[in-house]
């Protein structure tokens, strides 16, 4: 059975043309897709919408992951390549990400110094740091408006906000992204979801993001974010079919106003992440920067170098295009 016949059998054939033309879908349309409970059908529609926007191109950054000075290093994992500030000069990359566990009472002055310390050593790389939840925590501590906190961080060199699993699910998050866009800061739309939530909770989240996107045009991409990372217990973590549905629904709900859908292989895992390139995603975060790469010794989890990400993209019958943290290509021209 081909995709058109499958969609017809589920009474979804009327959505084929609107998605292929990248037209906005209604809440009722999205609810119908959820009720169909068929990840393959929803993925087929999402992939059609992706093709209308991105063609065969899949973008990817090469991320220099830098430990913020004074921050506790994250727990080591097989997919992690991290660098201290004094190690990053001369490493080939296209964006920089600040990593490390932030203290709950992080003051704004320290946050700005963290940004400056990283930008000083690699001024050539756009810096991604601080999830919206972190901005909210700093604003509460300082008793300052979101706009004030964001302005200080941007002045220090912040290029865009970061994301992480389990974060940015609050209504407050939407206000922070809207404030960032009003100030001229482009961000990634965090599409948070959890096991058992591929239904009304996810559609409500997508509706809220769509409202912001349509009024500000400030999202460069949407990032589906399961609450639990790869390796979570099957009782707590999302099933692969749930991740497929979340990615596809993200493209279908936001694709007319947000040009990209990003897969973060650090969160969903690189193998599942590669399959999401058939569910509406056209951007793959996971290629890491290192001074030198040792030859792989097995096929187990290990850091993704740019060559491996390129291999995944080509195997998905797409054309890889390296981007920076704001979707500019190597020659600084926009990819969209």
Q: Report if residue 88 sits inside a domain.
A: yes
Q: How confident is the model at residue 75 (pLDDT cuts 50, 70, 90)?
A: low
How many domains are contained in the chain?
Answer: 1
pLDDT higher than 70, residue 264: yes
Q: Name the more confident of 29 and 302.
A: 29
Q: What's the Rg (C-alpha) of the chain?
A: 19
Asked if residue 293 lies in contact with residue 285, where contact means CB atoms within 8 angstroms, the answer is: no
Q: Report if residue 328 sits inside a domain.
A: no
List, for residues 191-203, the tens digit of each pLDDT value: 999 888 899 999 9
Q: Report if residue 149 sits inside a domain.
A: yes
pLDDT higher than 60, residue 79: no
What's the confidence (pLDDT) of residue 125?
A: 97
What's the confidence (pLDDT) of residue 299?
A: 54
Q: How confident is the model at residue 229 (pLDDT cuts 50, 70, 90)?
A: low
pLDDT higher than 60, residue 89: yes
pLDDT higher than 50, residue 332: no
What's the confidence (pLDDT) of residue 333?
A: 38
Q: Report if residue 215 sits inside a domain.
A: yes
Q: Report if residue 97 sits inside a domain.
A: yes
- The per-residue pLDDT of the chain, averaged, comes to 90
Average pLDDT score over residue span 105-117: 96
Q: How confident is the model at residue 81 (pLDDT cuts 50, 70, 90)?
A: confident
Three-class DSSP labels, the chain: CCHHHHHHHCCCHHHHHHHHCCCCCCHHHHHHHHHHCCHHHHHHHHHHHHHHHHCCEEEEEEEEEEECCCCECCCCCCCCCCECHHHCCCCCCCEEEEECECCCCCCHHHHHHHHHHHHHHCCCCCEECCCHHHHHHHHHHHCCCHHHHHHHHHHHCEEECCCCCCCCCCHHHHHHHHHHHHCCCCEEEEEEECCCCCCHHHHHHHHHHHHHHHHHCCEEEEEEEECCCCCCCCCCCCCHHHHHHHHHHHHHHHCCCCCCEEEEHHHHCHHHHHHHHHCCCCEEECEECCCCCCCCCCCCCCCECHHHHHHHHHHCCCEEEEECCCCEECCCCECC
pLDDT higher than 60, residue 56: yes
96/159 Cα distance (integer angstroms): 10
**What is the domain-level CATH number for residue 253?**
3.20.20.70
Q: Name the more confident of 31 and 74.
A: 31
Whole domain around residue 62: which residue ranges? 3-323
215/147 Cα distance (integer angstroms): 17
Calculate what percentage of the chain has a pLDDT beyond 90. Answer: 74
- Of 305, 309, 310, 311, nearest to 292 by C-alpha is 305
Q: Report if residue 334 sits inside a domain.
A: no
What's the confidence (pLDDT) of residue 23?
A: 95
Q: Name the more confident of 278 and 228.
A: 278
Q: Report if residue 41 sits inside a domain.
A: yes
List, for residues 124-167, the tens digit of each pLDDT value: 999 999 999 999 999 999 999 999 999 999 999 999 999 998 88
Name the packing angle between helices 108-121 and 132-142 (round to 10°).
130
Count Cβ atoms within 10 A of the Cβ of residue 161 and give its class: 0-12 exposed, 13-18 middle, 19 or more buried.
buried
Sequence-distant (6+) residues with CB within 8 A of 335 are 57, 59, 321, 323, 327, 328, 329
pLDDT higher than 80, residue 234: no
What's the confidence (pLDDT) of residue 336?
A: 39
Look up residue 296 and give its two tokens. Answer: 């792989």
* Exposure on the CB side of residue 279, measured as CA atoms within 13 A: 25
pLDDT higher than 80, residue 74: no
List, for residues 62-73, the tens digit of each pLDDT value: 999 999 998 877
Calculate what percentage of the chain has a pLDDT beyond 70. Answer: 90
Q: Report if residue 76 sits inside a domain.
A: yes
């Amino acid at each position: 059975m081909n995709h058109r016949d499958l969609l017809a059998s589920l009474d979804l054939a009327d959505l084929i043309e609107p998605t292929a033309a990248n037209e906005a879908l209604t809440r009722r349309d999205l609810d119908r897709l959820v009720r169909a409970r068929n990840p393959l059908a929803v993925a087929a529609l999402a992939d059609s919408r992706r093709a209308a926007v991105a063609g065969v191109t899949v973008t990817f950054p090469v991320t220099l992951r830098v430990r913020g000075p004074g921050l506790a290093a994250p727990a080591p994992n097989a997919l992690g390549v991290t660098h201290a500030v004094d190690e990053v000069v001369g490493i080939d990359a296209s964006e920089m990400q600040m990593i490390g566990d932030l203290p709950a009472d992080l003051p704004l002055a320290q946050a700005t110094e963290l940004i400056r310390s990283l930008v000083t050593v690699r001024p050539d790389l756009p810096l991604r740091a601080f999830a919206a939840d972190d901005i909210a925590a700093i604003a509460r501590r300082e008793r300052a408006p979101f706009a004030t906190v964001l302005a200080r961080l941007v002045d220090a060199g912040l290029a865009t906000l970061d994301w992480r699993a389990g974060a940015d699910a609050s209504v407050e998050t939407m206000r922070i992204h809207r404030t960032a866009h009003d100030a001229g800061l482009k961000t990634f739309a965090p599409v948070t979801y959890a096991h058992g939530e591929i239904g009304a909770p996810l559609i409500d989240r997508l509706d809220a993001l769509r409202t912001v996107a349509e009024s500000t045009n400030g999202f460069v991409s949407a990032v589906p974010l399961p609450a639990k990372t790869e390796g979570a217990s099957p009782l707590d973590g999302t099933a692969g079919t749930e991740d497929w549905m979340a990615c596809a629904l993200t493209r279908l709900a936001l694709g007319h106003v947000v040009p990209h859908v990003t897969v973060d292989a650090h969160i969903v895992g690189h193998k599942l992440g590669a399959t999401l390139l058939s569910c509406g995603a056209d951007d793959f975060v996971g290629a890491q920067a290192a001074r030198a790469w040792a030859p792989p010794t097995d096929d187990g989890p290990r850091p993704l170098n740019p060559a491996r990400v390129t291999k995944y993209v080509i195997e998905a019958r797409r054309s890889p295009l390296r981007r920076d943290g704001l979707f500019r290509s190597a020659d600084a021209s926009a990819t969209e």
